[in-house]
Amino acid sequence: MAVTREDLVSAFRELILTTANRIPADVYEAIRDADMSEDNPLAKAQLGAILRNMELACKRGRPICQDTGTPYLFLEIGDGFPLRSQVIEAFKDAIRSVTREGVLRPNAVDPLYARNSGDNTGRYIPWIHVDLVPGDRVDVKFMLKGGGSEAPSRLVMTPPLKGWSKLKEAVIRAVAEYGPLPCPPLIVGVAVAAGGDIALSLAKKSLFRPIGVRNSDPKAARLEEELYKALNKLGVGPHGFGGKYTVLDVKFDYAYRHPASFAIGVVTSCWATRRATMTIESSGEWRITSKHLYPSNGSCVTG
């Protein structure tokens, strides 16, 4: 049996539904831990509401947030996978059908003609990045990225001599200046590269690394830890009510830069960071490889 177009569409439908309705296990656990250690009563009220919201979305099979975001898709397609050229079209079919059913809010707007396409597809949307890799399966990373939490995101081009101090300053300012608006506690992605586009793209992709998992390079890991601690000194807190948790984590990635350039990309993601990963085999079998919150006997468990 070889994979069919229908297999791809049903796999992607499940991927999109899981992403919109089931919070990743690491995000749920980070909010739960924050709630347990927080003692500011207003921050705690917000964290408690966020937890109840995640659990209700899970039990009712409903979107975690009414802003179901912009779809970002990162594909690693094996060169032996039978339907290479149909993967993207199958994904578009899936997102159109899920939007038609009222699970996703139509969020794709033509900027020139101020028209909403109504189905979450349009010019360059979903935003898709494809890598061709050896093997015969497809590995998928998918994110529904909230609109409000894009607001603090920024690109800073700086002379290399000032690079690292400018990077730290840019991260702190991005989070401090926007306060409650991007729905903290946030996950912050940061990257350094030769060009602005590379830096922002890597910063966005770094958000897929689960909370608490550090960059494998020890220097990069120390930078993540330093920025995480510094950001949590700001006291923005859940929805701006103060307390210990302005961010849940910081992720850093990099590309080799040009001798003359040091591009810094900063991307922020709200507490409702919605992402999932999936593997599709050449036989058509597929499975969701990320852990999420699932209903179980009237309550919720991660798995």
- Give yes or no for residue 183 binding another protein (CB under 8 A): yes
Q: Which stretch binds another protein (CB under 8 A): 9-17, 90-98, 239-247, 286-294?
A: 239-247
Cα distance between residue 266 and residue 191, in whole Å:
7
Rank residues 196 and 235 by Cβ distance to another protein and give the closer one: 235
Which DSSP string do the residues of 190-240 spell out, in sequence order?
EEEESSHHHHHHHHHHHTTSPTTPPPSSHHHHHHHHHHHHHHTTS---GGG
- Give yes or no for residue 282 binding another protein (CB under 8 A): no
CA 130 to chain centre: 17
Cα distance between residue 140 and residue 72, in whole Å:
10
Which pair of tokens denotes residue 281?
């085999």
Q: Which of 53, 97, 261, 282 binds another protein (CB under 8 A)?
A: 53
* Amino acid (one-letter) located at 243: G
Site string for another protein, 210-229 (x = CB under 8 A): ---------xx-xx--x---
Upstream peptide bond of 295 is cis (omega within 30 degrees of 0): no
Residues binding another protein: what is the number (CB under 8 A)?
56
Rank residues 102 and 303 by Cβ distance to another protein and give the closer one: 102
- Give yes or no for residue 168 binding another protein (CB under 8 A): yes
- Give yes or no for residue 179 binding another protein (CB under 8 A): yes
- To another protein, the closest distance from the beta carbon of 57 in angstroms equals 4
Task: Return the H-helix or E-strand segment holding 189.
Answer: strand 186-193
Rank residues 202 and 272 by Cβ distance to another protein and give the closer one: 272
- Give yes or no for residue 46 binding another protein (CB under 8 A): yes
* Phi/psi at 155 (5° precision): -115, 130
| 150, 177, 268 from 174: Cα distances, Å | 11, 6, 8
Q: Which of 64, 77, 108, 248 binds another protein (CB under 8 A)?
A: 64
- Give yes or no for residue 172 binding another protein (CB under 8 A): yes
Q: Which of 57, 143, 211, 276 binds another protein (CB under 8 A)?
A: 57
Q: Which of 160, 196, 240, 284 binds another protein (CB under 8 A)?
A: 240
Cα distance between residue 28 and residue 54, in whole Å:
8
Ranges within 108-137 binding another protein (CB under 8 A): none
- Give yes or no for residue 241 binding another protein (CB under 8 A): yes
Task: Return the H-helix or E-strand segment holding 154.
Answer: strand 154-158
- To another protein, the closest distance from the beta carbon of 234 in angstroms equals 5
Provide the strand spans (E) within 21-85. 70-78
Cα distance between residue 82 and residue 53, in whole Å:
41
- Give yes or no for residue 67 binding another protein (CB under 8 A): yes
| Positions that interact with another protein (CB under 8 A) | 40-42, 45-46, 48-50, 52-54, 56-57, 60, 62-68, 102, 105, 146, 148, 164-165, 168-169, 172-173, 176-177, 179-181, 183, 219-220, 222-223, 226, 230-231, 233-236, 238-242, 270-272
